[in-house]
Amino acid sequence: MTRIPSSLLEALDRWQGGGYPPQPRFPWRPATWERRFTRADAPALEGIDLAQAVGAVSEATQAAEDGRLHRIDRTIVTSLHAPEILMPGDGEHDARAVVTAFLAAMIWGYGTTGYGPYRTSRVLASDPDVVKHLIDVASRAQGSPNGGEDAFRHIAEHRGQADYLKYLGPAFGTKFLYFLTAASEVADTTPVMDAVVRRWFRSEADISLTTGSWDTESYQTYIGCLDEWREQMPTGRGGNRLERVDLELLIFASARGDDITWELPNESPTVDELLDLLQPDVDSLAEKSGSPEGPELLRRLSDWVAEKAIAK
């Protein structure tokens, strides 16, 4: 039996103390994605206008009070993956709906990073049968209780083919699987497994996961740990057993320091608190880029804020 990491239990306490807050909505830039898919070198998918597909996601996220910022969250993206949306009427998958759902998952996954449209475009352009393969993944993921794991295994087995969903790694591929299974009444929801999860499992549970390739054993280990832990952990909202997605949320919050905000009072956080929350993301970017500039700039900014506070 794998020991439950103390940081996971601490995050659960904070989550419960904060009233079980969901992951908040965040802004995204529809124009940036639409521009990528109206370029001359945009992927050409028969019968599918990718800019219009982005427009459908944009329409679903038109909820900003200021009328300019579109905000996206898990609930909105999950609704675009609903089986009745992907398979309207005759039980056959609608190619445009599946591609739109995939784009929504990628938009959510990349957030405000500037390279999301390019990388998503590369996935769609590099596999000549990408629509067929996305439909196959959707069908498998939503087709049985273990559909998410079956779809993961199917992708892993077919990655030997040169162009099969080329450039779609598990970090973002499992985001697509998550939304497909979350929207299904048949499939058990399968969680996202990316670099944040990998680092947390290494540091907090001393378990090595592979996220650089479609490693079935790693995904099974990850899901197995979540299922084992949630059986041992206290119940959640309404006295119900925690779900896999609840533990995934707690892991991300613990890894990124977001769980600290659950303990903050309702008033706006201080500059010091905001800088503390920013630290994990800056450190992660520094690790990826190999540049120490970000952490050094953040340190200098923290020193400046402290100096000005003392001078008041």
pLDDT tens by residue, 267-280? 555 676 566 667 76
Overall pTM > 0.95:
no
Indicate the average pLDDT of the chain: 89
Range of the domain at 182: 22-190
Q: Tell me the pLDDT band of 197, cut-offs 50, 70 and 90.
A: very high
The residue-averaged pLDDT of 248-265 equals: 82
Are 164 and 127 in contact by the 8 Å Cβ rule? The answer is yes
Say if residue 162 is in the same domain as residue 55.
yes
Paired residues of 28 in beta bridges: 70
* CA gap 106, 292 in Å, rounded: 29
At which of 153, 173, 190 does a domain end? 190
92 in the same domain as 26? yes
Does residue 16 share a domain with residue 26? Answer: no
Q: What percent of the chain has pLDDT over 70?
A: 89
75 with 37, same domain: the answer is yes
Higher pLDDT, 284 or 41: 41
| Residue-level length of the chain | 312
Q: pLDDT tens for residues 71-107?
A: 899 999 999 999 999 999 778 999 999 999 999 999 9
The pair of structure tokens assigned to 165 is 């969903």
pLDDT digits (tens, 9 = 90+) for 99-133: 999 999 999 999 888 899 999 999 999 999 999 99
Q: What's the burial of 262, exposed, middle or buried (CB within 10 Å: 0-12/13-18/19+)? A: middle
